[in-house]
Every structure is written in structure tokens, then in C-alpha cells.
């Protein structure tokens, strides 16, 4: 398949998603002596257009490589970034593509993409247990890293009241919140 330039990829997202497209940017930085470019693309989409966006990426590259889903707690919303790489396998042609989607805290759900990319299962399971984002229709919703004895409703990556604060032992230079017990 013909390889698009970063700008053409953004344009294709605009035509494909219409209202669902929030914004896109290209970042380039120069590396080492020859000043070859490290190129990354960042695209933000509306939650309702998310599945459509992933399907579009699957059309750009037959098997897009999903590196990881990163998630950040931004206060009133949770931001997920799906880090894809496309056009791999050729010298200097690969692009890093971050697909950003923001979820309001009162509706933390995202559709699964394991039907499109089966290897997304681990990172979806991790996002579910660590950030408390419910992945709808996930084929295997068990916990991945967190042990059974961590209670439900505690999400280690959150920065609000559902964070792991209660479970922490006192770290050096850190005072526990709540009850002040010794030992």
C-alpha cells in the first residue's frame, strides 16, 4: 500500500472522521550527526469516533503495532493514548502515532479493540485494573498484574480518592493520610 506523509495521514483522519476528529499535530526532532528526523504524530478523537479511528489505522497499515495504552488522570477526565507504530519494516520510514481519547470520569468506558488487534488484550486488561476504565466487550477481563487481595475500587494510577493511598505503607519522608498509627 502507498505510504502517506504525516500531513496526509492527518488529512485522511479529518475526511474519515469528520466531527469525531479533534486535532492532530506532527512533531519532528533531529537526531545525532546526520540530523535524520524522528517523527511522531498525535491525533485526538472523540470517544464516539474512537473505534472508527482504529479501523482507519488498520487500513493505513495491515497490522498496526500497538505498543501500549498509556493513561493519565487529568482530574475530571481520564486521558488514554494508544501508541501505535505504522509503516515499520523499512529504513527511516516508521511513524509513531499516538491516538488520544479523553473519557469523562462519570462514564469511564471504552470499546475493546481486541477484535481488530488481538494483541491488545494485555494492555486493555492493565488499563482496566490500574485506571478503572471499563473496556466494553473485552474477551478476558481478569486482572493482569494486581493480586486478588487488593480490594475492588482501588486504582493505582488514579490521583483522586480511588487511588492507592489507603494501601500504602509509610515510605521514607512520607506521612500516611488518615489514621496516624505507629508501627
List residues binding another protein (CB under 8 A): 27, 29-34, 36, 38-40, 62-63, 65-68, 70-72, 81, 83, 85, 87-96, 98, 117-123, 143-147, 156-157, 164, 171, 174
Residues 6+ apart with CB under 8 A from 147: none
DSSP 8: H
Burial readout 29-50 (b: 16 or more C-beta within 10 A, e: otherwise): eeeeeeeeeebbbbbbbbbebb
Give me the residues paired with residue 135 across strands: 110
Q: What is the largest CA-CA distance in the chain?
A: 65
3-state secondary structure at position 125: helix
3-state secondary structure at position 137: coil
Which CB atom, from 111 or from 156, has the smaller least distance to another protein?
Answer: 156
Residue 18: left if φ>0, alpha if ψ -120 to 50, beta else—which one?
left
Which CB atom, from 153 or from 173, has the smaller least distance to another protein?
Answer: 173
Which CB atom, from 8 or from 168, has the smaller least distance to another protein?
Answer: 168
Which CB atom, from 19 or from 62, has the smaller least distance to another protein?
Answer: 62
Least Å distance between CB 19 and another protein? 25
Least Å distance between CB 2 and another protein? 18
Least Å distance between CB 149 and another protein? 12
Least Å distance between CB 18 and another protein? 26
Which CB atom, from 12 or from 70, has the smaller least distance to another protein?
Answer: 70
Q: Which residue has the cell 470520569?
A: 105
Least Å distance between CB 119 and another protein? 3
What is the sign of the dihedral through the CA atoms of 13, 99, 105 and 116?
Answer: positive
Amino acid at each position: 500500500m502507498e505510504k502517506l506523509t504525516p500531513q496526509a495521514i492527518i488529512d485522511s483522519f479529518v475526511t474519515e472522521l469528520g466531527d469525531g476528529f479533534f486535532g492532530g499535530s506532527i512533531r519532528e526532532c533531529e537526531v545525532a550527526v546526520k540530523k535524520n528526523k524522528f517523527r511522531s504524530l498525535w491525533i485526538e478523537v472523540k470517544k464516539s469516533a474512537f473505534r472508527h479511528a482504529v479501523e482507519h489505522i488498520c487500513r493505513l497499515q495491515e497490522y498496526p503495532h500497538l505498543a501500549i495504552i498509556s493513561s493519565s488522570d487529568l482530574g475530571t477526565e481520564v486521558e488514554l493514548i494508544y501508541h501505535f507504530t505504522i509503516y515499520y519494516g523499512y529504513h527511516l520510514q516508521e511513524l509513531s502515532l499516538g491516538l488520544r481519547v479523553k473519557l469523562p470520569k462519570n462514564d469511564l468506558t471504552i470499546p475493546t479493540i481486541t477484535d481488530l488487534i488481538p494483541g491488545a488484550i494485555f494492555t486493555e486488561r492493565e488499563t482496566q485494573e490500574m485506571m478503572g476504565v471499563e473496556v466494553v466487550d473485552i474477551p478476558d477481563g481478569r486482572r493482569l498484574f494486581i493480586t486478588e487481595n487488593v480490594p475492588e475500587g482501588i486504582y493505582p494510577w488514579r490521583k483522586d480518592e480511588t487511588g492507592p493511598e489507603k494501601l500504602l505503607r509509610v515510605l521514607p519522608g512520607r506521612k500516611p493520610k488518615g489514621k496516624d498509627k505507629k508501627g
